Structures are given as C-alpha cells and as structure tokens.
Structure 1
Amino acid sequence: MHTELIKLGKRWLGWLILGASLGLATAGVLLVAILSRRMQESFGGFPSGLVAGPELVAQSFGSMFMLVLGAVPVGSEYGYDTWKNLVARHASRVRLLAAKWLTLLGVLLLGVIVVSLWSQGVALVLGSMLDLPAGEQPALSQILLRLGVLAWFLAVLASVGFLCATLTRSSVGGITIGFVWLSLDGLLTMVERVPMAVKRWLLTPAQASLNAAIAGQPAALPLWNSLLVLLLYLLVPLIIALLVFRERDLT
C-alpha cells in the first residue's frame, strides 16, 4: 500500500481532482452565501458548513471525479504496459490489486475530510464578512452521518470505475462504462413505471433513503435495504475485479 500511495501522490490527476473539488466547494458555498444574504436567510455556522461543500461537489462533478479516480490507477498500468513487471515482483495478484483499491479508498476518505474542513472554514469566513446569522444548527452527529453516507457513495463510484477499468483494460473504457451505468441508475430511479422491486436495488434510491433517515424524514426504502445496497455496490465490484485479474493473461 505504501508504494501505491507514493504512485498516487506523484500523479497529477489526484491533485487536480482535489484542487477542482476545493474550487467547486468554494464557489458553491459563496453562491449560497450570496443568495442567503439577498433572501435574508441564515447561512453557514458550525457544523452545517462541514457538509455543504462536499455535497455541492458530489451533486456537480463529484460522480465523474470518482469514476476517473477509480479507473485511472488500474487502466494506466495497462496503458503503460507495466502490469507484467508489477505482477512479477509480487507473490499474489490479488494482494496487489487489493492494495490499489484500499489505497484508493484511503485517499478518497482523506479528500472528503480536506474538502469538508475547507468548506467549513469558507462558510465561517463568508458568514462573518457578510454578517449573516448562522441560525439553528443540526447536531454534529447528524452532519457526520451525512458525511459518512456521502463518502460511502463516492467510494462506490470509485469502486465501479475500478472494476470497469479492470474489465476493459483501459482508463477510458472504465470511465465510459461507469458513466453509462450511473446514468442508467439515475434514469431508472426517475421513471415511475419501473417497479419498486427494481428500484430498491439501485444506488440512487439507497443513498437518498439513508439521507432521509438521518434527517428524520420518511424514507422510500428500509434502513437495512439501503445499507445492504451500498455494501453490495462497494464490495461486489472489488470481488469481480480480483477474480478477473487473478486469472487474466498478462503476457
């Protein structure tokens, strides 16, 4: 994992995604602050600012960012034809690929924490500069749960990109197939004729139901159903990728 962390740190893509996420979070929080001032509404405060930026990023380009982040570490090894050398130096293919996946999740979690803290700082500064009241704040535990669900959702997207890149042996193929899958998931969620028996196993309704449950609102799916769906979408892509990679001919 240490080697994979160094490789990720040297790639410009990860830093570009982090920088873009911080920029989007800043722009989004600034826009909300301006609108709140015009409408004379409360804004920012602690701890609501912690989740404002990450949610704005996730609702804009976050999904694509995660597909790219998941696909490139695997697909680039095929592009540079380095898998043969890497496999020769490791006793287990499964451990090698699993290390990439675990490193990816660790970097993703760290990125969410950085964007969250940055978002809170920007919200507090703007609230003070524009003299906006913070208003009533939700409990810190509720905010942390929302952040946890958001990080879990983003990890699922990265895991799907990871699998698709493994199957196609290409970063571009992994990103493209992942984007098509995510689009179909959202489309099926919105179509009323799709039966609930199908929707209950889609990613989008599961995330929405978890957020509703955290906020104390009625949820479309039971809690166990939402948790199971997110767990399956996180782990099944990894398991399939490991099985495929273990038997693949890299010569």
Structure 2
Amino acid sequence: MTTMVASARADLLRVRKWPAVWVVGAAWLLLMVLFGYVFNYVAYATGSVSFATDDAVGGVLLSSVLPASVPATITSGTPMFGGALMMVLGAMVASSGYGWGSWKTIFTQGPSRTSVTLGSLLSLTVVVAVTVLATAALALGISTSLALVEGVDVVLPSALDLGQGVGIAFLVLLMWALFGYLLGTLARSPALAVGLGLVWALVVENLLRGVGGLLGWVESFTLILPGTAAGSLVGSLGVEGGSEGAPGVLDTLSGTQSLVTVLAYAVALPLITVLVVRRRDLS
C-alpha cells in the first residue's frame, strides 16, 4: 500500500508537469463549452438554426444553456468526444513510460510491479476526477452567467441530479481512460495505442452496431461493448441521442444494465493491465 501511494504521488507529479495532459483536458473543456453553450446560445440570440442545434428553437435552446441543464450538458459529450480524449490520455500515460524507459528503470529497482501499476492507475483516476469536477464548475459558471444576462431566474439543478451527472460523467470518462491505459500497456507506443483506441471507439463500434441489424449474434455482441454501455448510461439520464441529439448517446441498455457494464469494465480493465505488466518481459 505504501508503494502504491508513493507511486501515485510520483505519477501525479509527472502528469501534472506534462503539457500533453493539460492540452487534452483543455480540449475537452473547449468542446464542452462550444457544443454545450456557444452554439446553442448564439443560435438562440441570433434566431438562427445551426448544424449543432438542428430544429430546436426559442425556449428549448435557452433552457439547454441554463443551470438546470448542467447534468445533461456535462454528460452529453462523454460517450464520444470526452471518451476519445480520455482514452488518448490513458494511452499516453501508460505508453510514454515505455518510450522514455521509466517503467524499466522503476521495475528493475525492486518495487512491486502490481503496486507501481496500481499507483499509476490511481493517479489517472485522480486526473479524471479533477477533469470532471472542473467541467461541472465551468458549466455551472457559464450557465449561471447566461441566466443573469437573459434576466431569467437562476434555478440550480438539485444535488441529486448534479450528483448523478457528475457520477455518470466520471464513470464513463474513467472507463475510457482505463481502456486507453490498457492499450498503451499492450502497444508500448503512444501513436499505436492512440490510433487503435480512436479507431475502435469512433469507427469499429459504430460499424458493429450497424451490422447488428443484419446479424443477430453481432447485435448481441454489441450489447457488451464499452461504447454501448457508456452511451446507454448517459442516455439513462435523459440526454437525447440519435441523429438529432448528442453523438454516441444510446438507449440500447437500461440504466441498471449500463451501470453494471461500465462498472465491470472499470474493474476488469485495471486487473487485465496489472496481469499484463506482471507477466510480460520488460524489453
């Protein structure tokens, strides 16, 4: 336990001083602000309809940028954009240690591979948690400011709704970050791990869901995919998906089924990662 905590603290120092981590986090916040607030509010203020808002007009557009909609706003982008970025983050955190020779140096000095790996995974979890909290704080600040500008009552989301939104966003982003960490461990190359992860999340899963309408066994297989679980979990919060909603949001699984599946991935992915690190040669 002492080694794990020390490893987590050391890895947090590494990622905190790594510009790539800040770039990934900033990219996610920027996407959330653009698609959650800027496009909708500009369309509402100008009376126009943009590609990001489809046929939504008037009060619907305004309500989407008010504080009460914060839980939906911070979760709507997590199955697709946020998940892809966290996967990139996880892949870089894991694979960079092999490229720099850090893992070989650490493991050959005696600390348990399990403790060191779990410490690194714990630091990644902290980074994801901080990202989600920053997302919620930024969304509350922007939405409250817009409500004051428009002269409407500031109605904050209930603690339960906000907690559900933050919790779902954290679980979805953490699952994708852990998936990226496993890919980085397997590939030992940032470029390869990031490429494989993005192809899987953005292309392969969507193709499999498309083929699922033709082949029953493929459709059954898509029910346990991480993207299906993440999209369904966000959809259970009431976020609209499909062609007129947020990309990646689904209603394939129930809220309970999707939650259990995401939690199963959150437990299984670190275990597989630790097993790979323990049994594989360092060269």
For the superposition of Structure 1 and Structure 2, which TM-score range results when normalised by the shorter chain?
A: 0.7 to 0.9
Q: 1:102 aligns with which of 122, 147, 168?
A: 122
Query: Comparing 106-115 with 186-195, which one deviates more in the overlay?
Result: 186-195
User: Structure 1: how far apart are the matches of 2:204 and 2:151?
Assistant: 41
Matched, 1:201 2:229: no
User: Structure 2 unaligned runs (5+)?
Assistant: 1-7, 48-56, 241-249
> Where does residue 186 of structure 2 map in the other structure?
167
* AA aligned opposite 2:39: L
SS in structure 1 of the partner of residue 224 of structure 2: coil
> Where does residue 170 of structure 2 map in the other structure?
151
Offset at residue 21 of structure 1 (A): 2.4
Q: 2:81 aligns with which of 61, 66, 75?
A: 61
Q: 1:46 aligns with which of 67, 70, 89?
A: 67
User: Structure 2: how far apart are the matches of 1:216 and 1:93?
Assistant: 41
Matched, 1:237 2:269: yes
TM-score of the aligned structures, taking structure 1 as reference length: 0.86
Question: What is the root-mean-square deviation of aligned Cα atoms in Å?
Answer: 2.7
Q: 1:117 aligns with which of 137, 145, 150?
A: 137
- Identity across matched positions, percent: 24
User: Structure 1 unaligned runs (5+)?
Assistant: none
User: Structure 1: how far apart are the matches of 2:83 and 2:254?
Assistant: 25
The Cα offsets for residues 87-134 of structure 1, whole Å up to 9 and x where unpaired, read as 1334200111111111101111111110111111112212322x1646
Number of residue-to-residue matches in the alignment: 249
Offset at residue 223 of structure 1 (A): 4.1
* AA aligned opposite 2:41: A
Offset at residue 247 of structure 1 (A): 1.6
Q: 1:30 aligns with which of 35, 38, 48?
A: 38
Offset at residue 234 of structure 1 (A): 2.0
TM-score of the aligned structures, taking structure 2 as reference length: 0.77
Whether contact under 8 Å (2:172, 2:230) holds in the other structure is yes
User: Structure 2: how far apart are the matches of 1:150 and 1:63?
Assistant: 10
User: Structure 2: how far apart are the matches of 1:206 and 1:84?
Assistant: 35
